[in-house]
Chains A and B, each alone.
Chain A
């Protein structure tokens, strides 16, 4: 019973404030789609439209091929996990997990086995008799996931499920979620997050949201290697965004000619060149740029250099340097032509 999710021109408004603008997005059956965007960009709103807690002002929401736009939440058969766990505090772990099964009138004899199955899937079987307050945050979130999975939903909605956990726990849970999805390949997952690492790690595709609109959608590799917009480039991974004049087969930046693939971008327009900081090298090489070091950050395994090139700040992430340059030193940095991407969206004539 694999069923995808489809947003069909879904708009949501609170009063005069449109918080979701004509969203068109399809989550394929069994796919993990991450909704990635800064806080307030409308991610939660989109997720709540699927769950049935906000009514679209216009547009339709489909689960499988069923139009659920007018269906109350309790008839949608969706699993939902939220940031603050939302476990029922007066119920033991097993009763929390059984809640949905009872609500859906699953045969009484079947419930204990289903509860155990769900708890085993999340590694919480030995905590069945505990109360939520007796569990750590990470354990509570596992119970919340077990509770959502127990009803065997076709669609699982996760709203920043790891945000309340500390960094180490988060990476462990990320691996757990990936494993869960391998065990349940038919479940379509909509995963809301503002954390690019979570999105890149877990998602089959990422939908990038900003200012109530879908900005970009693609596989993590596409978005990371070939971003189309400045927003995507800087939100999915780190980016140097350089304002350039496009020539033929090269661009000019700060008086230097840089050899980069220009694709079908017309010659003579202003555009933005995206270079990932970890692809910038120190010393002479192709596309060399010279500037003075304005900041050096040691990050353990890497050094982050900020280099002022003609008033533009260039970031370079370099493998830990034996002797890092001092502030104010003149340095040369370079990058390979194939490591630069000319952003094709929003290109303006003569900017």
Chain B
């Protein structure tokens, strides 16, 4: 009885107002999105099925898929991105743990610096690595000065490992930021109770901190994965000639070979992989309890 009389005014308030249905309000943002984002994407897709010989066909796809350069670039891109993501997650988790839970002077400043680091352009990190590990960088210079050898031992920067190092260096803060936010939400009391129950630090990290940080790891990891798949500046600036990723392939096809349909095909593939892997990652991380 009471609930019936009480709920009556609520129902009235919940009645939709006469006039425009709600979805009308979604139209302007969708229109803007379509104009600035979907339309260019559609153009790229359209271009990718219009070979230079005229007409509309899937020949550009057949050509690109048949070329070994494409298959190599595809493999390189995926393993570099996956490797960099795993590296960033492991390194980022370890560093964030130290910053959040080990009190040391300047810890706050380090956390602040991470925010600043996120605003750096990616090539800057690569440039810095070149200064340190490049063929004429500080490390090799020191080596040649000391040993008198003609060249130093650090030649990895122009290999895929150099790209991997640069990507991990640059993208790790992108994982640390959500992690630090998540760690700051964990009650100190939980960690203290865990340790009074007899848990050593390693167990506390595994069974208390890690599970509570999973959503942050998933968020940071998926962000880094997509950014690595599409990374261009780092690969370009390491000067690694043998390392061709999909974005590099798009660049060389479009700018150097003027093969626009080919470039568009690679671009479409790149977008599909990004979206696909991102989707997969979200599904997996949700399964993991995030």
Identify the A interface with B (CB < 8 A): 51-53, 72-80, 82, 84, 86-91, 99-100, 103-104, 144, 147-148, 151, 157
CB closest residue in chain B, given A99: B197
Residue in A74, A82, A157 whose beta carbon sits within 8 Å of that of B195 in the complex: A74
What residues on A are CB-neighbors of B187 within 8 Å? 84, 86
Is B197 in contact with A151, judged by CB distance below 8 angstroms? yes
**Does any Cβ of A come within 8 Å of B259's Cβ?**
no
Stretch in B66-74, B159-167, B200-208 touching the partner = B200-208
Interface string of B160-204 (1 = CB under 8 A from A): 000000000000000000000000000101101111111110010
A273 to chain B, nearest CB (A): 44
What residues on A are CB-neighbors of B189 within 8 Å? 82, 84, 86
A278 to chain B, nearest CB (A): 38
Once the chains are docked, how many angstroms separate the CA of A148 from the CA of B196?
Answer: 9
Of the A-B pairs whose beta carbons lie under 8 Å apart in the complex, a sample of 26, sorted by A's number, is A51-B192, A52-B196, A53-B192, A74-B198, A75-B198, A76-B196, A77-B198, A80-B193, A80-B197, A82-B189, A82-B192, A82-B193, A86-B187, A86-B190, A87-B190, A88-B190, A88-B208, A88-B211, A89-B212, A90-B212, A99-B207, A100-B199, A104-B198, A151-B197, A151-B198, A157-B196
Residue in A76, A78, A84, A103 whose beta carbon sits within 8 Å of that of B199 in the complex: A103
Once the chains are docked, how many angstroms separate the CA of A263 from the CA of B176?
Answer: 69
A179 to chain B, nearest CB (A): 23
Is B196 in contact with A73, judged by CB distance below 8 angstroms? yes
Known A-B contacts A80-B192, A80-B193, A82-B189; the reply to A74 vs B211 at CB < 8 A is no
Of listed A88, A148, A157, residue having the most chain B CB within 10 A: A88
What residues on A are CB-neighbors of B198 within 8 Å? 74-75, 77, 100, 103-104, 151
**Does any Cβ of A come within 8 Å of B289's Cβ?**
yes
A167 to chain B, nearest CB (A): 23
Residue in B193, B199, B212, B289 whose beta carbon sits within 8 Å of that of A86 in the complex: B193
Is A80 in contact with B196, judged by CB distance below 8 angstroms? yes
B19 to chain A, nearest CB (A): 40
Once the chains are docked, how many angstroms separate the CA of A175 from the CA of B5?
Answer: 40
A214 to chain B, nearest CB (A): 24
- Count the A-B residue pairs with Cβ separation under 8 angstroms: how many? 68
Known A-B contacts A88-B190, A103-B203; the reply to A74 vs B289 at CB < 8 A is no
A98 to chain B, nearest CB (A): 10
Residue in B190, B196, B211, B289 whose beta carbon sits within 8 Å of that of A78 in the complex: B196
Once the chains are docked, how many angstroms separate the CA of A82 from the CA of B192?
Answer: 10
Identify the B interface with A (CB < 8 A): 187, 189-190, 192-200, 203, 207-208, 211-212, 289
What residues on B are CB-neighbors of A91 within 8 Å? 211
A3 to chain B, nearest CB (A): 15
Once the chains are docked, how many angstroms separate the CA of A89 from the CA of B211?
Answer: 9
Once the chains are docked, how many angstroms separate the CA of A151 from the CA of B211?
Answer: 23
Once the chains are docked, how many angstroms separate the CA of A87 from the CA of B212?
Answer: 12
Once the chains are docked, how many angstroms separate the CA of A89 from the CA of B203?
Answer: 16
Is A74 in contact with B190, judged by CB distance below 8 angstroms? no
Once the chains are docked, how many angstroms separate the CA of A47 from the CA of B53?
Answer: 83
Is A73 in contact with B190, judged by CB distance below 8 angstroms? no
Is B211 in contact with A73, judged by CB distance below 8 angstroms? no
Is B197 in contact with A147, judged by CB distance below 8 angstroms? yes
Is B208 in contact with A73, judged by CB distance below 8 angstroms? no
Given contacts A100-B199, A104-B198, A147-B193, 11 further A-B contacts (CB under 8 A): A51-B192, A51-B196, A72-B195, A74-B198, A80-B192, A82-B189, A86-B187, A86-B193, A88-B190, A148-B197, A157-B196
Once the chains are docked, how many angstroms separate the CA of A144 from the CA of B211?
Answer: 19
Residue in A73, A75, A99, A144 whose beta carbon sits within 8 Å of that of B192 in the complex: A73
Once the chains are docked, how many angstroms separate the CA of A53 from the CA of B194?
Answer: 12
What residues on B are CB-neighbors of A52 within 8 Å? 196
Once the chains are docked, how many angstroms separate the CA of A86 from the CA of B189?
Answer: 6
B156 to chain A, nearest CB (A): 40
What residues on A are CB-neighbors of B211 within 8 Å? 88, 90-91
What residues on B are CB-neighbors of A86 within 8 Å? 187, 189-190, 192-193
A122 to chain B, nearest CB (A): 16
Is B196 in contact with A99, judged by CB distance below 8 angstroms? no
Once the chains are docked, how many angstroms separate the CA of A99 from the CA of B200?
Answer: 12
Once the chains are docked, how many angstroms separate the CA of A147 from the CA of B193?
Answer: 10
Of listed A76, A77, A89, A104, residue having the most chain B CB within 10 A: A89
What residues on B are CB-neighbors of A90 within 8 Å? 211-212, 289
Once the chains are docked, how many angstroms separate the CA of A51 from the CA of B200?
Answer: 14
What residues on B are CB-neighbors of A151 within 8 Å? 197-198
What residues on B are CB-neighbors of A75 within 8 Å? 198
B204 to chain A, nearest CB (A): 9
Once the chains are docked, how many angstroms separate the CA of A300 from the CA of B44?
Answer: 81
CB closest residue in chain A, given B193: A86
CB closest residue in chain A, given B187: A86
What residues on A are CB-neighbors of B199 within 8 Å? 74, 99-100, 103
